[in-house]
Amino acid sequence: MPSRWYDEDIERIIVTEEQIRDKTVELARQVAADYGQVHELLLICVLKGAVMFTADFTRELGRIGPPLELEFMSASSYGQGTTSSGVVRVRADLDRDIAGRHVLVVEDIIDSGLTLSWLLKYLTSQAAASVEVVTLFRKPDAIRSAPPLKYVGFDIAPEFVVGYGLDYGERYRELPFVGVLKPAAYARPDL
């Protein structure tokens, strides 16, 4: 296999491409079973990190679930680097009215749970019929602080991960797996 520019930056793979694929199918099955009676479901992708998972999850759920619509929001507890700051910044509002709609927020990773708590409050205040969350990854802090979540892909250790949408300095989103960077990668001169 030819080497890629990022191979030398990765210390260890946490979740492989195949594990992500299998888990995505499993999560779609759970959601399809729970939403068997609804006429349609609105998926809200939380940009940018959830973009890969949303694209794959939406297609899997589409095969077996109710009709779907897709919206995008951008919300994160900002701060550069590898820790959440505690302040939520919303960079795009919803294009449509969600009153009376069943909403499923699609998240990449939940760490402190702050971004999610804020989002859930916001969506509930817009009078959605229901609001649930599917997240591909969850870190231990979120188990303590975030509201209980029905759909969680992988519980992972509290270390910074990249790939499959997740970035460090806007890099590494295109990796098909999720992994941990070598310490030297944090010191790349172009980041």
Residues annotated as catalytic are 111
Distance in Å, CB of 84 to ligand XMP, minimum = 3
Asked if 177 contacts 16 with a C-beta cutoff of 8 angstroms, the reply is yes
Among residues 24, 54, 58, 112, the one that binds ligand XMP under rule CB under 6 A: 112
Whole-number minimum distance, CB 41 to Mg ion, in Å? 26
- Whole-angstrom CA distances from 6 to 1, 12, 92, 138, 156 are 14, 12, 30, 24, 22
Please list every residue from 128 through 157 that binds ligand XMP, using CB under 6 A. Answer: 142
Binding piece for ligand XMP, criterion CB under 6 A, among 8-16, 62-70, 91-99, 113-121: 113-121
* Contact residues for Mg ion, defined by CB under 5 A: 167
115 touching ligand XMP, by CB under 6 A: yes
113 part of the interface to ligand XMP, by CB under 6 A: yes
Question: Could you give the CA distance from residue 191 to residue 179 in angstroms, rounded to a whole number?
Answer: 18
Contact status: 54 vs ligand XMP (CB under 6 A): no
Distances (CA, A) of 124 to 39, 77, 118, 119, 136: 20, 19, 10, 8, 22
